[in-house]
Each structure stands twice: as structure tokens, then as C-alpha cells.
Structure 1
């Protein structure tokens, strides 16, 4: 492998001024206070998992005292930001360990990637065969790579010269390795429409190219970013639309574009605008009364943002404070809690990122603006036959959202029906908790329209064997424990008509029993409608929905 012949002391990146007008209503002291509280709480939590002898975090999922790589890198950034006692020394130890464990075989598909955990066997051996997103995760190049860049940009005085060179060599390797990724080749799924890793890939490649004076790498980053931007510009939406987790990652990565790339880069020129437009879209779908972004959700790790930890909620914490964000007082008790480890990165970038958030967005995050509808679209090539048409109706205590699609996979571009939620209803309950209903993804093609108090769903290519499964959240502590019909569901009145057989089945998916397991740690009741035997009608269900808490 040919390495740069330079001494690695590199061309400084030009940091652009804040894109867009500084917002007078954003109080810098508030942003700093909120971001400091996020940094402090996330670090206090990770401190309990840190193994100073090993220089790694123990697994945040408590996997028998094994360690984990990505969260350790995130923790290192927080150590540098906090910089108390021997924090910088411990950060250096972690960084070296992470790079020591980087995959070094240039001929392997996982070259330049980072170990999932340091105790794992060598990827690619007979006993530990390579399996993408299992024994190795190509997106970790982006997660660790962006973290290294952030540390080099924000805390250069705390990183020794030798360690700086080691980090830059690692970043060079990870950029080369990322160039091996081609959507549809060798089971890889990185297309520009895979928003969060695509934005990270473009940034790391472009940043490293500029830093090392590697023009081909710089051009590669610019070209890939241009493809991401072209998809975004269709309707000012991320292709990976409306994800509590991955919208947060995309906003993080776009902040790197806006803050660290020069205006001469398409990333520096567009990053701030894309942040503003993404927040505009999210704010239009956010119901501050429910503390949830209305559906549909392309990729979700839960059905109520107050019960699972989303990276988007961490962004909101820095904007409006923890108490007004969809964050439980004990974030580490929430579902998908491991993502709390990215808290330091969000906190470090918040003073810059938050200047790009508009007055109307900030207002919508704390006060529901009133009943309204949303119509937009998103496009994920090569999976979508045409752009997904998105509709949503939001009222003070009830939201309905849906998307029409025609795709070549089931479960959205992530091919995961457990995370793809093309039709979602949420409502408030008397005790302040949130009820939910989501259509389980089972088809390649869906026509779905949300309107005032209604949800209309059709399978254009369905037949008599088609079924509609609605996953309905369990009632609150004060509600009925047993659900046998819609009348038993707390807080909402549901009417059903259509071409389906109106007799439906109800089963339970529970933590320790029932007909199946929870999805993303959420228990639910499964209301399933089938077609009449031998029916030649197009499968269709029309739900009327009325809040009655």
C-alpha cells in the first residue's frame, strides 16, 4: 500500500463561518448549559463502564465483561471535552487501542474498518467467517472516523504529535476501505440514499483528502457528497426519512460538513442548508404534546420516543433542555440505551449546530402549533420505483402518518420490517403516556394516505391471501391488562371498514409469553385482518380514529 510521503503535518482545514443568520432567540448560554448537562450525564454513565486497565469501555449491553470499540471511541471524545484529571491520558490510551484493532488486510472487504469488540476472533477465518453487519460492520468506519476527525479538530492541543500521526494514518486507511463499498456488490448496501453512513463517508473521505493533499480522495468525497445532495434536493428531505435514530446521526454528520469543510466544498456549501431543511421537516411532524415525531418512520428502534433513546432526542436536549425533550429522567433505563454513548459528540457540536435551527423549529419543539397536515416525499434509489409520497395529519392529542411506496424489497431499504413503519398512529392517554398503532410491513407495494381522523391503506398488488397486521401498544398502568377488541384499547376509538373480513384476530407479543416476542423491546397486541376466502377484491382497510382519553 502506498502511503503519503508527506510528514503528516498537514494543510489546515478552513473552518467556514456559520452558514445562515445567527438566530437572536437562541440563547448561547442556554445552549451551552444544555449541552454541558448532556455531556456530564452521558459521561457520568459511561464512567461506570470504563475499564481503565484495558483502555476500553465494557459492553454497554453487559455482555459478560467484554468490551466494545465504537462506544469507547465516543467516550474518548468526551474525555477530551471534559479534560479533568487524567482524562486526556485515558483518551489517548483508548484511541491507540481502537487503531491497534483496526483491520489491516488491504485485500479484505473490511480493510480499514474497526473491530466490533477487541476480544473477537480474526474476521475472515474459518471459525469466524465474515458476515456484514455481524462479524464486521462497515458503518463503523464512519462512526469511528468522524469521531477521530472531531477530536483532531476540537482538541488538537490535547493530542500528542505521535498520536495525531497515528490517527491520520488510521483515517487514511478507513477512507481507502470505504472506497471498497459499492451498493449491490458483495452484499454491501451503501448507496447515496443510505443517508447516515453516506454523509459520514463523504465527509471523512473529503476531509482526509484535503488534510493529506490526496486529490483523488478529495474528489471522491466531493462526488459522493454531490449524489447525496442531489437526492436531498428533490424535496429537501433525507432519503432515510424521519428516523429518530438516524436523523440524529445525519444531523451530526451534516454538522461536520458545515463546520469543518470549506465553502469551496459542496459539503461546506450545503451542510448548513440541509440541517435547516431537515429540522424544518422534523418540526412539521413533531407533536410537543406527545413528545414524538409523527410517522411514518423509515427506520425506528421503538414506537414512542419517550420510551426508547433516540439520537434525535439528544439533539433536542441541547436545543430545549432535557425536561422538554423526549428523554426520560433516567436515559439509561430507556430502550436502545446504548446510543446514549454518542451524547458527548452531540454536546461538543451543539454550540455550532444549534445556531442553524430556526425560530419556528425551536418553537415547535416546545409548543404544538395547532392542527395541521404535512405532505412531502423521499426517494431511496435503487429500492423505490418512484418517490415515497408522505402524508400526515397532526392534532393536539392524535397524530396519523403514512407513506405510499412501491419497492423491490420488503421492510424498506433496510429490509427490516421491524424498523420500517409505513403507517403510524399515536395518541395521548390520561396519565400522559402515549399509545401507538403501526402497520407491520409485509408487502412490496402500499398506497397509504393519512387524513383528518382517518388512515386509508391499500395493497395494489394484493390478493385473497393478503393480511393487514396492526401492532398496538399495551395500555398504560391504569388501563386494561387484557385486550380482546378495539374497545379495550385505551385512549382511542377505532372504526374499521374495507374489503377485508371485518372479523379480526388479536394476539399478544410479550416479554415472557404470548404468541411472539416484542419488537424493539416494545410489547404489543397484534390486530390482524385477512381477506375473505376466494375474494377478488383489492385488499383495502379504512380506519377512522378518534381520540377519547
Structure 2
């Protein structure tokens, strides 16, 4: 029954994601138009994912169009062996030449090193799943491209030339190890094979310390890591450390996620290392696509119209998730699936994650998860602000979510401003301390807007819908509130979410450690 349901839901995901991308496909050029509708330019990564979906669907001229896309992507691969971006793929085919005076190389802007992994893993999936649909000459060019992308990826060294690829950067690290190991075996390149195995071992060692991904609890990137671990488990031999550990790591990652998942709110409780939103019901996460294949679309954090959600471009990876779901889902245990269906009851979660070289010690994570209220936070000491991604907009070290009367979700997150935080989570309580703070320190609490039935204007905690909040601590009890909206206010949205910013400062001249204690009760 479980397998039949998986097949049905995977087929649904494949169909819906492909139907959406069909509307963007430019058959004349053999690329998808930009999914962000950027003046009829095209984009490479989503086109590659779409090509895999075309092979899976295999109707009409789907195969012909898939091969056209693949050949175009290979043509657009960067081929200068002396450049840092060798073997990477164009972000879009209309772009100028990376490295020219007018288009200088800026990592994660004019070129994105992670696209080697995204495109490379997709090429491997095509070759593994649909070998009979791909002509030999195209296979040869795909293997040449994969070899070049693997060589180029070997140029990446964390801390050198602005690159941040360390084993703790989970999603590209897992992809890097896989492509290197797979291509090395196919091409009989023992050095490449060994490099993949060595890098995978470093990733596994970090995972094994507490059965957690270093890039912890991300709706987007936990999804990518699970996708890449599925490639380890499905395509690598048992003699590989990847083949030996991939299935176990998938099971244990899902076990961790299921403890933090609240099926009533359809959200994974915080903290989140890297998030593109604050409510999974409103932004499209890759993890939610995987939940779709496990429990069905209606029970997953997916809007009936996924393409209307925030961060909708990630719907383009839907075909890959659908293709792998029949295998991947066999590695998810029944206890996890049950938790994705039905909230099991209030409980506390304690775990940790470690991201060297940014963490001075492992981040200690605690979450209290109840039927209609979740509180999660992590204590950390780092050498950067904004987590390993160095991005305060995506790093959410303390998060509260609650259910509202109309079924929507309210949320609160601490905006990252410090390199060290001590957090205490108990039933209904969140305590935040800045050990190295001073009288100039502030706590910025970003609070989501009310539902359509709630107040439009928020002047105090009493105006926040669905929850009662009381405050104690060493902070000045007076606070300032500003609004950050789509079309105005004191600031801009974060990941397209509007919010109210409750800011607490310290009393003038205070010598106490900045401490803020929040108590929550559903009203």
C-alpha cells in the first residue's frame, strides 16, 4: 500500500511540476525561460531539471526536447581550465563571458560553483534512469561534461578565493562527493574516485557525531541533501562509503526532522540554519515536495497552487524528487511517516550540529513541540554573524510558531545580530542571552503579520493574533515596533515575508548581560 501510494503521489508531483514548466519552455531555443520572468531570458539549472522530467514523462517529442536541452547546457559549460569556474555551467545562456572586464567573476553572482553539483547530479540521474533514451554520442558528451565539472569542482577549497565549500556545507558537499565518486568509477580514474570517497568520509564523520546534517534543519537544503544522499544510496556500490552510509543517513535525517515536524501546523520547528521563509505553508521548500510523496499533497506543506508560493522556482526540482521517490521512500521508516501524518503529542527535542570552521563548538539545539505551539532555538559561538552562510536573513537561531483560529500559522524569529547566543527552551518559554553583549545590544524579534481576520495594525504584543506574550529580562521593558512590507514601512521584506519588528534595547549604562525571556500562551 505504501509503495502504491508513493507511486501515485510521485506521479502527481511529476505531472504538476512538468505542466507548470511546460508553460515556460522555449522549444525554439531548447531552454526554459526564466521562472522569475526576467524579460524572456532563459536559465540553465531549471532547464536541466526539466530535461530529466521530459525523459521521465516520455510523451510526444519529450525525448527530443530533453536531448536538445542537454546539448545546449553542455555547450554553455565553462571550458577555460585555468579559471576558477572551469567545468561550471552558465547561469543563463544570454550572460556575457564570465571573467571579462565588463562581467567580472563574482562567486555566487556571475557564477555559482554549486551549479556543478546541481547539473552534474542531474546528468548522472538521467544516465542511470534513462540510458535507453539517450543516444551514445550524447552519452559520450555528457560523460565528458561530467568529467570536466568534477575536475572544476576539485578547484574548490574552503577559505580560498572566496569559496566556502567545507564538508559542513552539507548540500554541495554531498553532491560533490557523489559526482566525483561516480564519475571516477565510470571513467576508471582512481584519483577522482578516491577524492569522492575521501570527501564523503569527511561529511559522514560530521554527521555521525549526533546523526545530524551540519547544514541543519533547512526546508530547502535538507531537501537537497536528502536528494543527494538518495543518489549515494541508489547508485553507489556497497564498497563505497557512500553506498554503505547513504541509506542510514537518509533514515536518521528523516528521524530528526520528524521529531521537529508539527503535522498540525505543517511546519518543521526551528531553529533553521538556512531558511527562505518563516512558514512552510507559504514558501515552497524542497523538503515539502518530499513530504508530498510520503503523505500526499493535501497533508504536505504545499499550497494547491505551488507556483503561487514564495520561492516557487524550486518547484522545478519536482521531477527529480518524483523520479527518486519510489526508492527514497523505502528508506523512511514508518514512525517518521506516521509523524508526518499525525502529530504524536507534546515533546522536547535535544540535539546538536557542527559546522567547522565557523563554530567554536557544536550548536546545541532544543525545541519544545506541542500541538499548537513550537519553540526552538540553538546556543552557539561562531566567528561570523548570520550562521555559516553569513546571512542573517536566512539564519534563524530562535523560532516560535503557533496555530491561529483560522488554521493559519503565526511566527516569530530572532534576527541574528551576534556571534554568540545562549538559548534556553522550556514549555512555553524562550530565554535568549548575549554572553558578550553590552548596553548597546538589541534583540530584534521579527513577528509575522496577522491573518486576514486579525488586526492590520500592530502597536503592541496585544495586537499579535493567536498568542499571548509576556516579557522579562535585563532589557528595557519599553520596545520599539516598526513594519517591513512589500510596498513600504521602515524596512524591506525578508524572503518576501512581511513582518513587524519588535526591538528591545538595554537600559542606558547597564552592565548586565543582555537577557530576554519570552513566555507564550495560545489565546
Tell me the TM-score range normalised by the shorter chain.
over 0.9
Q: Which residue does the alignment assign to 2:70?
A: 95
Matched, 1:359 2:327: no
Match of 1:56 among 31, 48, 53: 31
Return the match for 1:181 from 148, 156, 169: 156
CA distance in 2, matches of 1:99, 1:448: 48
Q: 1:285 aligns with which of 257, 260, 284?
A: 260
The alpha carbon displacement at 1:55 in A equals: 0.1
Q: CA shift at 1:449, angstroms?
A: 1.6
Corresponding position of 1:67? 42
From 86, 91, 101, the counterpart of 2:61: 86
- Is 2:190 the counterpart of 1:220? no
Q: 343, 346, 349: which one pairs with 1:368?
A: 343
**Match 1:147 to one of 89, 100, 122:** 122
Shift of 1:28: 1.1
Higher RCO (CA < 8 A, seq sep 6+): 1
Indicate the residue corresponding to 1:535 in structure 2.
510
Q: Are 1:131 and 2:106 an aligned pair?
A: yes
Equivalent residue number for residue 522 of structure 2: 547
Which of 160, 184, 193 is the matching residue for 1:209? 184
Deviation at 1:130, TM superposition (A): 0.2
TM-score norm. by structure 1 comes to 0.95
Equivalent residues in 2 for 1:74-473, closer than 5 Å: 74-473=49-448
3-state SS of paired residue (1:323)? coil
Aligned alpha-carbon RMSD (Å): 0.4
> How far is 1:82 from its partner?
0.1
The alignment's TM-score, normalised by the length of structure 2, stands at 1.00
1:27 is displaced (CA, Å) by 1.6
Deviation at 1:294, TM superposition (A): 0.2
**Unaligned 5+ runs, structure 1:** 1-25
Deviations 1:308-367 (A, max 9, x none): 000000000000010000000000000000000000000000000000001110000010
Match of 1:213, SS? coil
Quote how far apart the aligned CAs of 1:485 are: 0.3
Query: Does the residue aligned with 1:462 lie in a helix, a strand or coil?
Result: coil
Name 2:459's counterpart in structure 1. Answer: 484
Q: Distance in 2 between matches of 1:367 and 1:428?
A: 15
The CA distance in 2 between the partners of 1:449 and 1:80, in whole Å, is 50
CA distance in 2, matches of 1:435, 1:165: 52
**Counterparts of 1:266 and 1:299, CA distance in 2:** 27
CA distance in 2, matches of 1:310, 1:228: 23
| Partner Cα separation in structure 2 for residue 334 and residue 83 of structure 1 | 28
Report the Cα offset of residue 172 of structure 1.
0.0
Instruction: Give, in whole Å, the separation in 1 of the partners of 2:25 and 2:212.
Output: 38
TM-superposed CA distance for 1:95, in Å, is 0.1
CA distance in 1, matches of 2:383, 2:290: 33
**Deviation per CA, 1:182-201, whole angstroms, max 9, x where unpaired?**
00000000000000000000
Aligned residues: 523
Alpha-carbon distance in 2 for matches of 1:473, 1:520 = 12
Quick one: distance in 2 between partners of 1:484 and 1:180?
53
Partner Cα separation in structure 2 for residue 249 and residue 450 of structure 1: 29
Q: Distance in 1 between matches of 2:393 and 2:297?
A: 28
Structure 1 SS opposite 2:298: helix
Deviations 1:506-530 (Å, cap 9, x if unpaired)? Answer: 0000000100110000000000000
Q: Distance in 2 between matches of 1:374 and 1:485?
A: 31
What is the alpha-carbon distance in structure 2 between the residues aligned to residue 236 and residue 29 of structure 1?
A: 30
Moved over 6 A (4+): none
Whole-Å separation in 2 of the counterparts to 1:390 and 1:101: 43
In structure 2, what is the Cα distance between the partners aligned to 1:214 and 1:376?
39
Deviations 1:358-413 (A, max 9, x none): 11100000100000000000000000000000000011000000000000000000
